[in-house]
Amino acid sequence: MNRGAPVLPILVSLLLVALGGGADMMRDRVLASWSRPRQAEGGQTGGTRTLQATTSTGRQGAYFLPRDFETRALPLMVAFHGTGGTGSLMILRVQALAERARFIAVAPDSVSVAGAWVVGLPPHDITEDYRHVMDGVREVLRAPGVRVDPAHVLAAGFSVGGSVAPCVASHEDLFTAFAVLHGHVALDAMGPRRPRGWMSAGDRDRVRTVEQMNSAADQLRRRAGFSDLALRVFHVGHSLGDEELAALVAWWLR
């Protein structure tokens, strides 16, 4: 065993079976204790860090850099948490996969302390959530040593965060794909771009059922013109399973 491994965060991550719930004080303290960058082999730094971009409600978010991230341009995932969630919890959920698959992950907090997101309606309604997302992304892009593979930039949202992913990806040229995981979509909030998309559901999910996700996918294809759209169903409830996340990353990085 690597005696330098962060044992406590690993134990906490095993307890996180769903991202829809709020974070209690103890988990926030654990996440904060692991937010400092670590020195990796070869002199490169990686790990989880807190976003400096801050909302009017004092919320921020987090991002993750894999070991030796400075050696080459890496894919970028921008992830949006569910109701009651935080960016730190979202990063905690995806960081092991980000390390293995070699991608950068950014997870801003929503402005709402309840974890809800507000997407604006085009053409001129830019919400504080939207501005905070893009401020956080630009902050990471400016970080020393960070280089992003422009062919692989994903916006991915879980539950209520699912509405943010296609909205941002259809407006911002940076993004090449989006993913809606157990979430809903706001067709009137879509921009002019039509990147490829992924949607996933759980056959045990009673919050966002398979039928609801099928209907949302059909609306994106027929009414909004997203022709390159995949839909996958997994044996989970309203949560993000390892198989689902691994399948999403494989689809994204294919």
Q: Can you give the pLDDT at residue 46?
A: 86
Please identify, in words, the CATH class of the domain defined by 7-252. alpha beta
% of the chain with per-residue pLDDT over 90: 78
**Strand pairing partners for 177?**
154, 196
Q: Can you give the pLDDT at residue 125?
A: 84
Could you tell me which residues come within 8 angstroms of residue 92 by beta carbon, excluding any fewer than 6 positions away?
9, 12, 13, 16, 31, 48
Q: Which parts of the chain sit beneath pLDDT 50?
A: 1-44
Q: Can you give the pLDDT at residue 5?
A: 41
38 CB neighbour count, 10 Å cutoff: 13
What is the Cα 127 distance to its own chain's centre?
Answer: 18
> Could you give the dihedral angle defined by the CA atoms of residues 53, 245, 48 and 41, in that order, rounded to the nearest 10 degrees?
-140
Helix runs in 158-237, H state only: 164-171, 210-222
Asked if residues 177 and 163 have their Cβ atoms less than 8 Å apart, the reply is no
Q: Can you give the pLDDT at residue 152?
A: 98
- What's the half-sphere exposure (Cβ side, CA atoms, 13 Å) at 17? 3
Listed by start position, the domains of the chain span 7-252
Q: What string of DSSP letters covers 11-49?
A: HHHHH---SSSPPPHHHHHHHHHT-S-EEPGGG-EEEEE
Q: Can you give the pLDDT at residue 120?
A: 84
Q: Of 180, 250, 192, nearest to 218 (Cα)?
A: 180
> Is it true that the peptide bond before 123 is cis, omega within 30 degrees of 0?
yes
Q: Can you give the pLDDT at residue 13?
A: 41
> What is the chain's length?
254
